[in-house]
Each structure stands twice: as structure tokens, then as C-alpha cells.
Structure 1
Amino acid sequence: MSAPSVLFVCGRNAIRSPMGEGLWRLAYGETAHARSCGVIPAAFVDGFTVAVMQEVGIDLEDFSPIALRGVGDPPADVVISLSTAADRTAREYAQETGALFQAWPIPDPSETPGTREDRLNAYRETREAIKSRIASWNMG
């Protein structure tokens, strides 16, 4: 199945957008053009993200967060915001580059309190929510 090139955007490029990038490739093949970025990137990918993505065979151990303005060319066909805080910036970027914009408001699992297992479960729910959106994805 062929898919358009996609850019996933969130606040820090440490949790949701790297998940989106990895899950897009899982769904559409390693050659699928997927990238991710953050409005204000973190210094490194979140450890819980690495753990829950390894559960589905995606290695993010060496992932390095980047800024939206550092994405470079070629522009993506579709820009998907995974964070309501990133929507405005991602929408503007999509308009500047001629991409289709979609907002997928996925809650930030890092805000979940509780035990390590409670937090891991929140990250798993985030992963599955993104995976579900990708599975039902369409251009409109």
C-alpha cells in the first residue's frame, strides 16, 4: 500500500511524533517517507517511548529530536499535529509548504501520575491511539 510523505509534529519530538514516525513506517513499509519534529525539541527521546515502541518492534534508541524549522526538504505531503499545543505552528508550516494539515489530538502520556507500570500503560495507550489513527488514515 502506497502512502504520502508525512511529517508528525508535537511539542518536543520526544514521545508522540517519534511514535507516529515509527508506526507510519510499520504500517506502510520501511520505504514510507515519514519524519517527525517538535515545536521546541527535547534533548533526547523519552525512555518510556523507547520501551513501548520496542514492544512492537520499533527501535527508537538512537532517535534524535529535531525542531520543526530543522526538517528541511523535501516538504511532506501531509503534516499531522499530535498535540493541540503544536496545532497552530504545524498548520502554518503546512500552509507555507503546500501540505495537507490534519490535527490528531493525542493526550501526552508523560502527564500520567502513578507507578512505573501505570505510566508505561499510558504510553501504550498513546501508541495504540496513534496506531489506530494511522490504520484509519485518509487524505481528507
Structure 2
Amino acid sequence: MTRPSVLFVCVHNAGRSQMAAGWLRHLAGDAVEVRSAGSMPGDRINPAAVEAMAEAGIDITDQRPRVLTTDAVEASDVVVTMGCGDACPVFPGKRYLDWALDDPAGQGVEAVRPIRDEVERRVRGLLAELEVPAPARD
């Protein structure tokens, strides 16, 4: 089986999609190709998202918001949208998942922690669907 690729998309590519990409990289290693993008990317990653992920032992400080491109969608097997609505391009033959998650924008780390944990739960579920083993939860 070829290595699956997953694209996480939200509006600003600064919180939810970055946390999801961080979890997927952390849990799957090189077994999955990971991308993230935003329909209207912000200028930096949400500091509360960075802090919440650091608490889980995952460093996303080197990531930058990226603009969503049709190439990124076409190159991905699974596209996970998180509140980007009609701005997310839809291509035939792609698998789409829409994860309804609270937006961490403007929230403190206390509000972001439950979003982080829900993102982890969903990423683990996605890995199970892709039949990619993930390490057990601590």
C-alpha cells in the first residue's frame, strides 16, 4: 500500500488544522504524508494552540500558516475540513471528512486544551480507518 496523504484545512491554518497536523505527524511518523492549509491563512500559529500542543509533548512552533491550493487537495487522499465552508475546493474521487470543532482563535490555553484533546481523538480514529498503527495513549 502506498503511503496515504492527509490534508487538514481550516480558515486561518493557525489552530485546529495545525494541531491536527501536529498530532498526525507525532502519532504516524513517516507512515502518513501530512499537509495543512487555510482558505485565508493567518500570519502566525495561535500561541494558545502552540502552548496546548507543547503540554502534550508536541512542538508545532516551526509550522507556518499556508494558503490552500488546488494542488494540495489534488495530492491528498483524505481532506479533513474544519470550518472552512464553501472556501474548501471539492474534487471528485477525494475522501472528505468535516470535523466540527470549536475555533481556538482568541481563546486562552484553558479553552484550547479540550479542542486539542478532541483533535487527538479524531486523528487516532482517522489512523485506525487508514489502518496505520498509532502508539497507545499515555
TM-score normalized by the length of structure 1: 0.79
Q: How many residues align?
A: 127
* Further displaced range: 67-76 or 119-128: 67-76
- What is residue 106 of structure 1 aligned with on the other side? 101
* Further displaced range: 46-55 or 6-15: 46-55
- CA change 1:11–1:52 in 2 (3 A) is same
Separation in structure 2 between the aligned mates of residue 94 and residue 75 of structure 1, nearest angstrom: 13
Which residue identity does 2:102 align to in structure 1? P
Give identity over the alignment, percent.
Answer: 31
Q: What runs of 5+ residues in structure 2 fail to find an aligned partner?
A: 131-138
Q: What runs of 5+ residues in structure 1 fail to find an aligned partner?
A: 113-118
| TM-superposed deviation, 1:111 | 5.0
Which residue identity does 1:107 align to in structure 2? D
Separation in structure 2 between the aligned mates of residue 71 and residue 18 of structure 1, nearest angstrom: 19
- What is residue 19 of structure 1 aligned with on the other side? 19
Which string of whole-angstrom CA distances, capped at 9 and with x for unpartnered residues, describes residues 39-79 of structure 1? Answer: 10001111111111111222111211011027648610000
Query: Is 2:73–2:79's contact at 8 Å kept on the other side of the alignment?
Result: no
- What is residue 91 of structure 2 aligned with on the other side? 95
Is 1:48 aligned with 2:37? no
The alignment's C-alpha RMSD in Å is: 2.3
Higher fraction of helix: 1
